[in-house]
Structures are given as structure tokens and as C-alpha cells.
Structure 1
Amino acid sequence: MNVIMLLKHKDSLKYIYEDNTLRQGLEKMRAHSYTAIPVITRDGKYVGTVSEGDFLWHIIDKKTSGDIEEQEEFRIRDILRPDFNPAVKISVGMDELLARAMNQNFIPVTDDLGTFIGIVTRQDIIRYFVNK
């Protein structure tokens, strides 16, 4: 089995850019009922994933009021955790995907140059192994 068979392509997903404001990120996540969302550069490189908790901890750490307009002065890159939700390359094996799914709701997938091409969800991995 190849990861491509489980891949949800970037064109069918929502993601945010690292230079988006926190307000833009929060609004996009809320509009799509996401609890976490991939973050990419303007040239398409995967740089991480941001979660609801990242926004919450930012508000607490910066002692902001939580007012949405106040979040316009901060960028998504300011709250990214470098070790959270690492990507795999398109050539990854199913065993590695399964191992990652133990700790991640979705696994970002990149090409050999680090360009974000999509995600594989935990649900799709479980479905694959159940049907196997």
C-alpha cells in the first residue's frame, strides 16, 4: 500500500500561511470547525501545525485580553511549536504512518523538497487496517 492511496490532497484541504495573523487563523479554524490546521509558507513549504491550544497558550502567555482585534498584531509563525505534528515524506511506509497516527490526528505529507502536498488522517489509516 502506498501513502498516495490515503492522501487527502492539498487542493481539498484548508490550511493557513505562517504570515497570517492570529485572527485570520482563528477565524479560518472556527469557520471549518477545525481543532488543528496545517501551516505552510507562501511558497508551499510545510512549517508546522497550529492547534486551538496554541492560540489559548499565546493569549495566556502574552496576557492579552483575548479580544480578536488584539490578535492582529501577532502572526501564526509566532505561536508554532517546532516539534508538533511533524510531516512525513510521500515515500513513507504504512508502519510509520500507523506509528504517527498513535499521536497525531492527521499526518502532514510533503514531497522530497518539503513542499506540502496533503494529509493522511488517523481515520483513513484505521479504515485501511480494518479492511486489510
Structure 2
Amino acid sequence: MNIAFFLLPKREVVYMTPEATMRQALERMEFHRFSAIPLIDDSGHYIGTLTEGDLLWKLKNTPDLSFENTDKIRLKDIPLRWQNQTVSINAKMEDLITLAVAQNFVPVVDDNEVFIGIVRRREIIEYCSEQIFSSKLIREA
């Protein structure tokens, strides 16, 4: 099965740009209750995944940084510890299963490597569950 069926399109994905501030990211992640979000550059390319851990390490390792002045820090200045592996829109669902073990979402790109959305781990697990359940029913019949 092609992953386009499971794709959450870019317009529905919560993401940030490298020019956004640390405060904007903190507030957006808190509002949506996400622990990680994609970073997309001005050309539309996926450049990494910003995590709560990245923000906490930046706060810990930057003298005199507090929540009040996080609006002075650009996301491009925060080291990212995690780079979710991308897949092509032409990938098959089976290609995503191994990625879902370590990633809570898989960024999807088009033929020009432009970010077009994500497939969430939840949809991958639901797909696997349906495959297991349906094959179990066939064997029992």
C-alpha cells in the first residue's frame, strides 16, 4: 500500500522554520502537546526535528538564558540531536515500519526532496494491527 493514503499533509502539520524563536517553539509545542516537531526551511525542505530535549539542553547550556529571553534565540542556533529519516511519497507502508520503531513520525518528501507531510507512528501501528488481525481471521476461517 502506498503511503499517500496515510499522509498528514503539510498544511495540517505543526512545524517551525529555523528563523522562528525558541519561545515560539515552546509555546506551539505546549499548545499542541507535542514533544517533537519538524523544522522546514524557506525552500520547503525538511532540515530536522526539534525536540523538547533540544530546547532543554539549550536552556541548560546557555548562561543567563531564561524563559523570559527565549524570544532572542532562533531555532537555527539550537543544536538538533535527532534527524528523522525521510521517505519518498512513492515509498510503501512496509518501508516505514522499521523507521517507526525510533521515530514518532516519518517526514515525507516529493521527488524534489520538498517536504509534503508526515506519516505518524499511530497510523503505522494501526496498519500493522489491521494486517495481523486480518491474517489471523483468515487462518481461523
Given the two structures, how large is their TM-score scaled by the length of structure 1?
0.90
Q: Which residue of 2 aligns with 1:54?
A: 54
* TM-fit CA distance, 1:82: 6.8
* TM-fit CA distance, 1:69: 2.9
Give the 3 Å change call, closer, same or farther, for CA 82–61 of structure 1 in structure 2. closer
> What value does the CA root-mean-square deviation take over the aligned residues?
1.5
CA distance in 2 between partners of 1:83 and 1:21 (Å): 19
Given the two structures, how large is their TM-score scaled by the length of structure 2?
0.85
Q: Which residue of 1 aligns with 2:69?
A: 70
Which piece of structure 1 moves more, 84-93 or 19-28?
84-93
Q: Which residue of 1 aligns with 2:34?
A: 34
* TM-fit CA distance, 1:41: 1.1
Superposed, 1:39-118 pairs within 5 Å as: 39-65=39-65, 67-81=66-80, 83-118=82-117
Q: Which residue of 2 aligns with 1:3?
A: 3
- Structure with bigger helix share is 2
Give the 3 Å change call, closer, same or farther, for CA 10–80 of structure 1 in structure 2. farther
CA distance in 2 between partners of 1:85 and 1:64 (Å): 31
Give the 3 Å change call, closer, same or farther, for CA 64–93 of structure 1 in structure 2. farther
Give the 3-state SS of the residue equivalent to 2:102 in structure 1.
Answer: coil
Residues 109 and 118 in structure 1, CA contact (< 8 A), matched pair in contact too:
yes
* TM-fit CA distance, 1:121: 0.8
Q: Which residue of 2 aligns with 1:22?
A: 22
Give the 3-state SS of the residue equivalent to 2:98 in structure 1.
Answer: helix
Q: In the alignment, residue 60 of structure 2 is paired with which amino acid?
A: I
Identity between Structure 1 and Structure 2 (%):
39
CA distance in 2 between partners of 1:81 and 1:33 (Å): 19
Give the 3 Å change call, closer, same or farther, for CA 27–60 of structure 1 in structure 2. same
CA distance in 2 between partners of 1:117 and 1:48 (Å): 14
* TM-fit CA distance, 1:44: 1.5
Structure 1, unpaired ranges of 5+: none
